[in-house]
């Protein structure tokens, strides 16, 4: 497909994505009204949503697409089976397309480019036939992964027998296979689809560009709640190899907690987290984009004060980065616990840098 060529509509896929909400929402409501409700029905939806959702967020996204950690083979198999049940294509296709999204974000070759409109990014892009993603160019590591290759071969049976057969079987155990299919199959699928789609649309449309003012990705706590922590999207686009999306302890990010649990169980290793000074540098750089246009319109003595605060912040961050490098070296040497003091000093400089640049921002905006 060339840039100038408008892709054809993928009729079967469009029909599937239009019919599943009708069956999943209206069909489930009508059937439940006519045949009765039981607690196991929503619990089935939630249970399968959690297994499938974590396989997309922690698996397809953070492990396979971004290699933010190394997962044991049983964990990869879990991701492959339950991730297929999301009916969002194979690991190979999904991850390669997602890597293209990061490479070309907001540009022509971004598959779900928000510049083409909210609904294009949310779902319309899926309705069209696209060239196969460049897996040889951007996903050679996945081509060598036997779990990825196995899932690619068996993807459709996994969708059918896992995504729809498993909930039907569970429903049969409770005496109502159709309710199992509707609640655990179709309704769960609709929820998984559109919460995932919100990351491509709403998280590029509404929120704060906390860490990178140059791209459309936004931090949106509502999307984080709707998904399993994928809403802190400005951070993710700035630091895609980080295993976290929500970096604060109070940020809703179950995928982060799941990966941390895997690490504690020795089922994950080499978990990658961005150093605190680097994170703070990105926050400050994004904030300065809002400050700098005001400097020419404020009194000179105030502009000088703002520049002084910014310079101080940069100095503290430079000290923090140097200390953080020392902390990493000291901790890896295992010679003593001196690294704890070094880390505390680095964090102290990060906090002081934050205080300085936030004061600069408040001063600039107050007189603008």
Mean pLDDT of 7-21: 89
The pLDDT confidence band at residue 334, using thresholds 50, 70 and 90, is low
d(CA 220, CA 138): 28
How much is the pLDDT for 4?
Answer: 44
d(CA 64, CA 117): 28
How much is the pLDDT for 2?
Answer: 41
Tokens at residue 7, please?
Answer: 């892709």
pLDDT of residue 253 exceeding 70, the answer is yes
Mean pLDDT of 256-278: 97
Question: Could you tell me the residue ranges of all domains in the chain?
Answer: 11-269, 276-367
Find the range with the poorest average confidence among 60-74, 168-182, 217-231, 353-367.
Answer: 353-367
245 near 66, Cβ under 8 Å? no
126 contact partners, CB below 8 Å, separation of at least 6:
10, 13, 14, 17
Task: Give the percent of the chain with pLDDT over 70.
Answer: 97
Task: Give the percent of the chain with pLDDT over 90.
Answer: 81
pLDDT of residue 93 exceeding 90, the answer is yes
Number of neighbouring beta carbons within 10 Å of residue 304 = 12
d(CA 267, CA 72): 5
65 or 333, which is more confident: 65
Mean pLDDT of 17-22: 95
268 near 240, Cβ under 8 Å? no
| Residue positions counted in the chain | 368
The pLDDT confidence band at residue 6, using thresholds 50, 70 and 90, is low
SS3 annotation, 240-265: CCCCCCCCCCCCCCHHHHHHHHHHHC
d(CA 115, CA 105): 10
d(CA 251, CA 354): 19
pLDDT of residue 70 exceeding 60, the answer is yes
48 near 54, Cβ under 8 Å? no
Among candidate residues 227, 229, 225, 226, the one with its CA nearest the CA of residue 242: 229
Say which DSSP state 128 is in: B
161 near 87, Cβ under 8 Å? no
pLDDT tens column, 179-222: 999 999 999 999 999 999 999 999 999 999 999 999 999 999 99
How much is the pLDDT for 295?
Answer: 77
- Summary mean pLDDT of the chain: 93
How much is the pLDDT for 1?
Answer: 39
d(CA 324, CA 276): 8
pLDDT tens column, 110-143: 999 999 999 999 999 999 887 778 888 899 999 9
**pTM as predicted:** 0.91
236 contact partners, CB below 8 Å, separation of at least 6:
217, 230, 242, 245
């Amino acid at each position: 497909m060339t840039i100038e060529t408008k892709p054809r509509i993928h009729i079967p896929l469009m029909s599937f994505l239009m019919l599943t909400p009708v069956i999943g929402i209206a069909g489930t409501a009508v059937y439940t009204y006519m045949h009765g409700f039981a607690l196991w029905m929503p619990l089935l939806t939630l249970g399968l949503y959690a297994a499938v959702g974590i396989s997309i967020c922690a698996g397809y996204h953070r492990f396979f697409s971004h290699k933010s950690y190394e997962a044991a083979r049983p964990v990869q198999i879990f991701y492959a089976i339950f991730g297929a049940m999301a009916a969002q294509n194979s690991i190979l296709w999904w991850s390669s397309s997602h890597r293209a999204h990061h490479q070309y974000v907001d540009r022509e070759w971004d598959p779900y480019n928000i510049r083409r409109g909210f609904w294009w990014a949310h779902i319309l892009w899926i309705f069209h036939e696209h060239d196969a993603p460049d897996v040889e160019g951007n996903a050679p590591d996945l081509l060598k992964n036997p779990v990825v290759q196995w899932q690619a071969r068996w993807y459709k049976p996994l969708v059918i027998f896992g995504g729809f057969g498993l909930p039907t079987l569970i429903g049969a155990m409770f005496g109502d296979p159709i309710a199992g299919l509707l609640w655990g199959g179709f309704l769960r699928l609709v929820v998984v689809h559109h919460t995932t789609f919100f990351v491509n649309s709403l998280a590029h449309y509404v929120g704060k560009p906390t860490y990178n003012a140059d791209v459309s990705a936004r931090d949106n706590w509502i999307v984080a709640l709707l998904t399993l922590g994928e809403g802190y999207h400005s951070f993710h686009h700035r630091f895609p190899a980080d295993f976290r999306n929500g970096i604060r302890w109070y940020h809703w990010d179950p995928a982060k907690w799941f990966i941390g649990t895997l690490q504690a169980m020795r089922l994950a290793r080499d978990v990658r987290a961005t150093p605190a000074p680097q994170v703070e540098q990105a926050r400050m750089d994004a904030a300065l984009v809002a400050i700098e246009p005001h400097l020419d319109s404020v009194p000179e003595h105030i502009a000088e004060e703002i520049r002084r605060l910014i310079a101080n912040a940069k100095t503290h961050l430079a000290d923090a980065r140097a200390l953080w490098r020392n902390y990493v070296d000291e901790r890896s040497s295992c010679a003593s616990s001196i690294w704890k003091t070094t880390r505390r000093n680095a964090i102290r400089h990060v906090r002081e840098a934050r205080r300085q640049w936030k004061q600069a921002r408040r001063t600039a905006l107050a007189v603008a």
